[in-house]
Structure 1
Amino acid sequence: MARPPEFDRAQALVKALHLFWDKGYERTTVRDLTEAMGISAPSLYNSFGGKKELFDEAVAEYTDSPMRVIPPGLQERTARAVFAKILDIAIREYCSSTQPRGCLVISDPVLLDERRLGREAIRKRLQQAHDDGDLPADVGVDALTDYVDVVLRGLSSIARDGADANAMRAAADVALRAWPRAPRRPTRDS
């Protein structure tokens, strides 16, 4: 009969997530993981399967958590409100004292597919806004998607470099001022 693990698996997973977030997948060794998680290599392999499987589980933990920046913002009524909400969440999460700074998905080169999923979700929401007349007709949805992506990457980068929430808010406010104005809707008096 197999012995039950002598450690808290959920806590160990969070420690692994934070280590991957800090160092990236490629630079994190099994030894780094076992030291951070407080477990032996055999326990890591028995409980998680290996470094790659542990990383995949840690990324799933991250993408299913409230730390996720993009999905909660997509439900806002206007495209500008979507961008504002995403920025608010990014500032809160990228500067949180309970986890590494910045964004795991943005910071780790191996998470290209996750970044593509986020970009596609933003692009679809902006396309909907464009189709609904919430954005000027001459605004390119792909270019605006790139803009949102660049701003988020920039915020993640300056957060990792130590910027505080006030500096990030100031940068986000500049980005919001550059947002294209929605066309005016005719009123009943027009």
Structure 2
Amino acid sequence: MSTLHPGRPRAFDREQAVLSAARLFWESGYSGTSTRALTHALGISTSSLYAAFGSKAGLFEEAVKTYAERYREIYRQAAGERDIRLVVDHILTHSVYEFTQPADHHPGCLVTSAVLADSAETIDVRTYIADLHQDNERTLLARVQRAEEEGQLPPDASVSALTGLVQAVWHGLSVQSNLGVPRDELLAAADLAIRQFARRS
């Protein structure tokens, strides 16, 4: 587009726009966030929003994917740890830090918020989040299975149960972070879960 809309700033910062939108979606959900609220927060006109993101749903999708992919990377990096206890520590601790990034450059755990979207427009995002969780669980399950093969787990340990325990704690920490539980309390809960895992493994 050669001519900027009068309501659009000269330097359109897409990253900042996605962050601003993500924050609104986190606070109000998809249906509760109006296009008007989005254009006001982003400082652009409705036509500029549609030109940049295609639609409100397109902006929501980009916001979710921008922040959700960070969790996939946490799981991938954790799988490279040499000891299964370090794997769990990495997943839970790094995720808590990600959940509780300073608000000026992070919207909160949009992964949890995204699955609560209730519009047919966002079905692809809900599918994406479900796939993300499944992929992360598969990554962890494979790593726990490897730990079993390497003798890091007791003979009676259940690979699926241990994986499920970590996933349940992860989701609980995510929800708590959205409720405003401070980082230090989340880290304390994560540490307790890690120690419980260590006892079972």
Gapped regions of structure 1 (runs ≥ 5):
184-190
1:117 partnered with 2:123: no
Gapped regions of structure 2 (runs ≥ 5):
116-125
State the alpha-carbon separation in 2 of the partners of residues 150 and 121 from structure 1.
Answer: 15
Report the AA paired with residue 105 of structure 1. V
1:104 partnered with 2:98: no
Report the AA paired with residue 197 of structure 2. W
Which residue in 2 is equivalent to 1:173? Answer: 191
Cα 1:108–1:60 shift into 2, 3 Å: closer
Cα 1:71–1:63 shift into 2, 3 Å: farther
Cα 1:50–1:117 shift into 2, 3 Å: same
Which residue in 1 is equivalent to 2:29? Answer: 24
Compare 37-46 and 154-163 and name the one that shifted more. Answer: 154-163
Equivalent pairs: percent with the same residue? 38
Q: What's the TM-score once normalised by structure 2's chain length?
A: 0.77
1:145 partnered with 2:145: no
Which residue in 1 is equivalent to 2:60? Answer: 55
Do 1:105 and 1:114's aligned partners in 2 also have CA atoms closer than 8 Å?
Answer: no
Which residue in 1 is equivalent to 2:85? Answer: 80
Deviation at 1:67, TM superposition (A): 9.5
Q: Which has the higher contact order (CA 8 A, sep 6+)?
A: 2
Compare 75-84 and 10-19 and name the one that shifted more. Answer: 10-19
RMSD of equivalent CA atoms: 2.5
Q: Deviations over 1:26-69 (max 9, x none)?
A: 43332232122111111111111112222222223223448954
Aligned residues: 182
When you count helix as a share of all residues, which structure comes out higher? 2
